[in-house]
């Protein structure tokens, strides 16, 4: 449980740092959320690819805790909802398509190798 606590905190701090880095970017797309979700997918897929034979506690630390703290599906959903609500239908749809496609490609490329 301590590893999950530490990993979750590290993921949350990473997510917070990414958000700070994109605060001044004026863009319709929520890039910080996209980058956080993409980063979590990269870490998750690389962990599965590289550490298949490691102990369960190592996987729990990286996959459940760190990636769980870093990924932001609820934020992604809310930001997409706000795009729809503000009438930016095409941007909202692009956000959905872009985010899901890129993150799925990460798993396809890294896990299928």
Q: Structural domain of residue 29, as residue ranges?
A: 2-112
Query: What is the distance between the alpha carbons of residues 55 and 52, in angstroms, rounded to a whole number?
Result: 9
Tokens 């805790």 belong to residue: 65
Tokens 């997510």 belong to residue: 15
Structurally, how many domains does the chain consist of? Answer: 1
pLDDT < 50: residue spans in the chain: none
Give the other-Cβ count within 10 Å of 7's Cβ: 21
Query: What is the distance between the alpha carbons of residues 70 and 76, in angstroms, rounded to a whole number?
Result: 12
Chain segment 36-62, per-residue pLDDT in tens: 999 998 988 888 788 776 666 667 777
User: Could you tell me the pTM of the whole model?
Assistant: 0.78
* 26: its two tokens: 């004026």
């Amino acid at each position: 449980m301590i590893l999950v606590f530490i990993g979750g905190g590290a993921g949350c701090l990473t997510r917070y740092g990414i958000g700070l880095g994109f605060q001044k970017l004026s863009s319709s797309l929520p890039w910080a959320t996209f980058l956080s979700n993409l980063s979590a997918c990269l870490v998750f897929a690389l962990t599965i690819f590289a550490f298949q034979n490691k102990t369960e506690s190592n996987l729990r630390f990286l996959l459940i805790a760190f990636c769980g703290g870093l990924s932001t599906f609820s934020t992604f959903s809310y930001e997409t909802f706000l795009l729809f609500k503000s009438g930016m239908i095409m941007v909202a749809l692009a956000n959905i398509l872009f985010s899901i496609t890129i993150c799925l490609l990460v798993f396809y490329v890294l896990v299928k190798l």
